[in-house]
Amino acid sequence: MKTKLFFILPIMALVLSSCLKTIEKPPRIELEEFFKNPEKAYFKISPNGQYISYTAPYESRMNIFIQEIGQDSINQITFETDRDIAGYIWANDNRVLYVKDEGGNEDYKLFGVDIDGENLKCLTCFPGVRTTLIDDLEDNPSEVLIGLNKRSAQVFDPYRLNIETGEMVMLAENPGNIVGWITDHDGNLRAAYAITDGVNQTLLFRDNEEEDFREVLTTSWRDKFNLHFFTFDNEKLYVSSNLGRDKEEIVIFDPNTGEEVESLYKNEEVDVNGLHYSRKRKVLLAASYTTDKRQYHFFDEAARQRHEFLQQELPGYEIGISATDTAEKKFIVRTFSDRSRGAYYIYNSETKELNKIADISPWLNEDHLAEMKPISYQSRDGLTIHGYLSLPVGYEAKNLPVVINPHGGPWHRDTWRFNPEVQFLANRGFAVLQMNFRGSTGYGKEFWLKSVKQWGRTMQDDITDGVNWLIDQGIADPERIAIYGGSYGGYATLAGLTFTPDVYACGVDYVGVSNMFTFMNTIPPYWEPLRELFYELVGDPEADSLLLAEVSPVFHADKITAPLFIAQGANDPRVNKAESDQMVEALKARGIEVEYMVKDNEGHGFHNEENRFDFYRAMEKFLAHHIGDSVTVSK
């Protein structure tokens, strides 16, 4: 199984620098340039190092292309026109596997195709069934391990799949509570995660595939214990764990004793939850973690030297290795920053040659885009809330129109990266504040637990406190503040307009939850094993019915006074269309201004390029009308 200090400027220094240094306003960038498909993206390299692959637009949909290294000819091997390819891998030197769904329903099907475009086959085209990848079995060129909820919609069973014939064999039957399967370095199914008592997690383990799984360790839902991969002798496990402490650290865990036997790296400030290794050399490379930016602690000197060389050659950008050949001689290097989608390079470790192979969005000039400044502020109950502030280029940081942009999840976090939404809004003259409110991941157990049953309560207070901080700093015009978010961020938008109606001039809800009761009754069937855990985190519809009613915006629509724009995918399996429908109905019944956009061929977010254009064009006009200052909108 593979895993894939920035200095915080005092805000007054940030404001003063804006005042002392005159920067011309950048040209107005066309909306489509932010949201159109990349020119080329998701580069990978064949196992033998002979070919590179990537996705690129074909009839406005992202498809797969193959190019021999050192040659000019390019071969398109897929021709999907209804939906972007959601992801792909090299199965062997001659065959590529990819997944796609239908209209955003997230029932992903697995397809195989040869690198000359021949022998296209759907390998898991079962109605209403979702495919997950367990192990690509790099040492077995004809098979992969996948998970399918074919036998039961609620759980995934593991299968060994022949990628040529489509023949598959079930390796184990999910008893109904296993939510993850883990293989060793030889591709043997050796471990699993089960949900016990509806909420707690149990690690199951076996010494070989002939044995039954045995229970090794049960952890509370309050703790994190995430297995990365086996040690290279296939005996122990590398884990990120916060058992008995606040922050996750990288440890070695012995399944025979059920104990952590060695701590490899920890950070006092944040969780350490990334781990990288060399499959060929069988050594750990680095642990990764995120403060304001991504950081690495290297275990391997060759990896450290390679990273330092790449950082020296590509200064100012985040750098990551996104793919390598089996021999680990050729590497695909990906760069990005807050103002650039970045580029892909190919690095030859033998010759030390580094060659650019593609810019992702060459039409965007990063000199015209906004810096994403790390900031922090105090919540009303004394927590430090970290976030990022993007100020429009060429504007004085004073009395600006602002878009508050809470992230989705909510058990996720914003990071320093290129965000097309943020850059689009900044180019239109809006400041954008993103905050990692309580419950955001990476800041330790205590910070995360403070979000338990706090949707619409202290989690929302953290967002409101960010607004007040911006006003106190003189950056925000208190009369021109909007809130916009997707998924949980959409819920936070509705909660913001409902529970703090005097704070926001308008809001944009993108596939957000409005009714906690109907939301929980329409979750995807494969989330069913996690239902009781969700009740612990958010609230039980029966035991906590009063709480959930209090924080469901749809029941308090009468408090909304600000204009609202709602966007929804008709096929959304996570946040059902009824969430948006009932909110729109409640507002219209009260005569509140509400715009409503529904896309019939989308799910949880708009992936088709033309739908993205429609959504952001409508959002641009909406924001310009309600908080803009003579803003010119796209046609």
Query: Which residues are the active-site residues?
Result: 487, 572, 604
Q: Give CA–CA dist 576/371, Å, rounded.
A: 35
Bond from prior residue into 410 cis (ω within 30 degrees of 0): yes
What are the strands, taking DSSP E only, across 15-119? 41-45, 51-58, 61-68, 74-76, 87-90, 95-100, 109-114
Cα within 13 Å of Cα(325), Cβ side: 18
Q: Give CA–CA dist 541/47, Å, rounded.
A: 50
Query: Do 615 and 597 contact (CB within 8 A), yes or no?
Result: yes
Residues with Cβ < 8 Å from 246, sequence gap 6 or more?
444, 445, 446
Query: Do 492 and 500 contact (CB within 8 A), yes or no?
Result: no
Structure tokens at 572: 């959304």
Kind plus residue range of the DSSP H or E element containing 178: strand 178-183
Burial 15-54 (b: 16+ CB within 10 A, else e): beebeeeeeeebeebebeebbbbbebbbbbbbbebebbbb
Structure tokens at 142: 């004809």
Structure tokens at 395: 């504007």
Q: Which residues pair with 506 in a beta bridge?
A: 482
Q: Give CA–CA dist 84/102, Å, rounded.
A: 10
The torsion region of residue 197 among left (phi > 0), alpha (psi -120 to 50) and beta comes to: left
Q: Give CA–CA dist 399/516, Å, rounded.
A: 36
Coarse DSSP helix, strand, coil percentages of the chain, rounded to the nearest 5 percent: 20, 35, 45
Closest CA to 512 of 408, 399, 617, 394: 408
Q: How far apart are the first and last CA of the chain?
A: 48
Helix (H, G, I), strand (E, B) or coil at 369: coil
Query: Do 427 and 26 contact (CB within 8 A), yes or no?
Result: yes
What are the contacts of 203-212 at 24+ separation with CB within 8 A?
203/227, 203/255, 204/178, 205/255, 209/171
Closest CA to 573 of 103, 105, 99: 105
Burial 245-275 (b: 16+ CB within 10 A, else e): eebbbbbebebeeeebeeebbbbeebbbbbb
Amino acid at 421: E
Amino acid at 249: E
Q: Which residues pair with 229 in a beta bridge?
A: 238
The torsion region of residue 502 among left (phi > 0), alpha (psi -120 to 50) and beta comes to: alpha
Number of neighbouring beta carbons within 10 Å of residue 530: 16
